[in-house]
Chain A
Amino acid sequence: MNTFTNLVLAAAEEAEHSIEYGDGGIFAEWAWLLVIVPFVAFVAIVFFGKRLPRQGGEIAVGAMAFVFIYAAILFVINTVEGVVFEHSVEVARIGSFAIEWGWVVDGLSSMMYLVIGLLAFLIFTYALGYMEGDVRPTWFFAAFTLFAGSMLLLVSAPNLIQLIVGWEGVGLASYLLIGHWWEDKENSSAGMKAFYVNKVADIGLVIGAFVLAIPVGSFRISDVLDAVVGNSGDIEAVAFWGAALLFIGAMGKSAQFPLHVWLPDAMAGPTPVSALMHAATMVTAGVYLLGRMYPLYAEMAAEARVPVLIIGTITLIIAGLLAVVQDDIKKVLAYSTVSQLGYMVAAMGAGAYTAGLFHLWTHAFFKGLLFLGAGSVIHSVHSNNMSDMGGLRKPMPVTFGTFVAGTLALAGIFPLAGFFSKDEILAAFNYEGYTAVLVIGVVGAFVTAFYMARTVFLTFYGTYKGHGRPHESPRVMTMPMVVLAGLAVVGGWVNIPGLYTGFTDWVGTRAQTFAEHHAESFDWPVVAIGLTAAFLGIVAGYFLYYRDEETQQARDSFRIPLLWPLLEHKYYLDDLYMNGIVTPIKGPIARFVDWTNSYVLDGIVNAAGFVTRALARFVYQDLDQRGIDLALNGVAYSTDDLAGRTRLLQTGKVQQYAGATVIGAVLLVIGFVVFG
């Protein structure tokens, strides 16, 4: 066996599970600002956003700039001295369980803060351009800020309750954002689908949290993990079930087979939402949960890693194959995300904690970049379908250049970010002896390179097939793409085996440590196989979709018999869920509700209606019509009648009036004379 142990592990053995880290000073103490500022910004946008020139977008971008800068400071502090800080405030108490709110600053969470802050800042800036002229920009930015804030709440959680609150907040915000253009039924249905599928998985998360918390007597993650590290017998009994249930929760948020169905539909939302959702918030939550609870999976619940590995492996290959048949550019990227999440989860399952998180880190950059690029293309050609694109290389040079950088990074071409992270995952498969998984991972790498090559050739090469004249996006949109392209290139250089392994130290900086294998140099055969697979994928894409441009479309419509219908229908999973689960449950419930409705509720309602009607009839006929109305009408009729007679006095003849006046005067005189 390899005797390489990392610095952390060596130190851990010396100091018996307690390593001296810094406490991060005032910046860690004030890290609650990271969570509060987005929520304050959310409220501010809701109430004051409409009055601002950018409809509230400036508040959102400002809040995210703050989060980014603060996260960068925390990250630097962590890099320099290693920070482990945790603080909790008691909010409420139920029996012996304290409900707490707090924040964690350690290597893992500061890595996530930085990813969220950086990606959110860039994508919000991009959204300023992308959402210009939208129907509800204020609400969009409010929900977007809520999205990022909920994710920060989740990541900063020192206890499982707060983690669930943030988790649900992310789900709510994603529902709002996916259905942002709810005028189309399809979009609001996609939002609901995301919400429901996540709810199914959340049941696992909530039960898992309780299963783990009850034997420990505390919801604090550190207490649970301390019990795990200390080999407490109470928790050992439930460790497998707790870990498996938490993973069900992670399967929902991180879109693992068979709960991945919501993610492609979530493309109904605006593109910046997809970008943020796929890069930094939402789908990374599941992987983060696995990472945060990793000490549990490392040894005590090691059997629970088997389903994690299997599900991750299935996900990475089936989602990769689905991406090949998509025409919608965003759906290609969505299935690509599912596939990459499969890599991360499979890495976690294989015991490669660092490799999984490292892929999360690099994936955030290039997937965020690819979505922004796709958004830029969609913004320009007003269609999501690649059959409406083509030849965009010339009119959109910046988008093209950055998109290609993202594609090569995702395909895993040396020396871009994806190469290092994917290689580390494949090497971990090899080291742990999961040969079958390694083979599937390599096939997945080939498929990844193939569908990305297909996307690039269909979108940017050949002839333009859409309408109108495509144009480059404004600078506010291209600048974030350029920054992300830079990161997609260099993002992987923070963890080069044998050269510099800063990333390993960052995510290893945490209170509870565990043993993990870290390769000291590249696993050269795996590097060779992985790179070959990626190159073959690109070459295959080149031959199929580029070499002879005339037949490009013919080839795109080429369909492999048997396999194509299966992929086209997404393995019939949606049909299975609809006909197998939703309809059978919906039917009896609907019938029962209908029966209750027509016999019980309607009876009550009808009785109430009958009594009310009788009462109303009495009031109407006897009280109102025969009483009040008659009196009022009588007054009105008599006034009308009298007026009709009296008005005849008004003849209009002045001399009659004058005569009346004279007669009156004479009568007055006579009166004075006689009675005076």
Chain B
Amino acid sequence: MPLLRRRKPRKKRCRHDSKELEARGLELRIPEGGELVLLNQFLILGALLFSLGVYGLLVRRNAVMVLLSIELMLNAVNVNLVAFESFLRNAGAGGQIFAIFVITVAAAEVGIGLAIILLIFRNRTSANVDELDLMKW
């Protein structure tokens, strides 16, 4: 969790100070034969995707779209996981494995979620989440 959060100035956080990383037993790794791609770029992509997902989750009325937004958020997290994994030595294959887990869970979740939505739609001829407020006071 708090890999990069330590009592350090904020500006330093994204600089990939190799010494600091080495002190923690981690090492910055540069992919071979490729242009150096900064970790920041992946993180920004992930943040954008996540925000998009949050936006969709909060504002879309159609339940299918809400589910889609959740997928978006999950995948944003996947991007972050994979990015961190590939930029850090000694991280093992943890990022990739976690991403696969997330994909698996997401698949299960979509399976169940879509089934629920389908049944709701059959019963009420609508998948509008605003109308699904039976579980209130």
Contacts and interface: CB of A to CB of B under 8 A. Distances in A.
A653 B130 contact: yes
Interface in B2-57: 5, 54, 57
A236 B89 CA distance: 134
Interface string B50-78: 00001001110000001000000000000
A672 B59 CA distance: 27
Contacts of A647: 137
A652 B129 contact: no
A663 to B, nearest CB: 10
Interface in B67-111: none
Interface residues of A, number: 13
Interface stretch (A87-95, A159-167, A393-401, A654-662): A654-662
Given A650-B137, A672-B5, A659 B58 contact: yes
B132 A654 contact: yes
A651 B58 contact: no
Given A658-B58, A662-B54, A672-B5, A652 B66 contact: no
Nearest to B60: A655
A653 B66 contact: no
Interface in A626-676: 647-648, 650-655, 658-659, 662, 672, 676
A648 B133 CA distance: 12
A655 B57 contact: yes
A670 to B, nearest CB: 13
B70 to A, nearest CB: 9
Contact of A652 (B5, B58, B59, B132): B132
A655 B66 contact: yes
B57 A652 contact: no
B56 to A, nearest CB: 10
Contacts of B133: 651-653
B136 A654 contact: no
Interface string B109-137: 00000000000000000000110111111
B4 to A, nearest CB: 12
A650 B137 CA distance: 6
A163 B78 CA distance: 106
A653 B57 CA distance: 12
Contacts of B57: 655, 658, 662
A650 B129 contact: no
Nearest to B134: A652
Given A672-B5, A676-B5, A652 B136 contact: yes
Contact of B135 (A648, A652, A655, A658): A652
A662 B137 contact: no
A655 B57 CA distance: 7
Contacts of A658: 57-58
A655 B136 contact: no
Interface in A226-267: none
Contacts of A672: 5
A650 B136 contact: yes
Nearest to A659: B58
A475 B137 CA distance: 78
Nearest to B135: A652
Nearest to A647: B137
Interface in A594-610: none
A654 B132 CA distance: 8
Given A650-B135, A651-B133, 6 more contacts: A653-B130, A653-B132, A654-B129, A662-B54, A672-B5, A676-B5
23 contacts: A648-B137, A650-B135, A650-B136, A651-B133, A651-B136, A651-B137, A652-B132, A652-B135, A652-B136, A652-B137, A653-B130, A653-B136, A654-B129, A655-B57, A655-B58, A655-B59, A655-B66, A655-B129, A658-B57, A662-B54, A662-B57, A672-B5, A676-B5
Interface of A: 647-648, 650-655, 658-659, 662, 672, 676
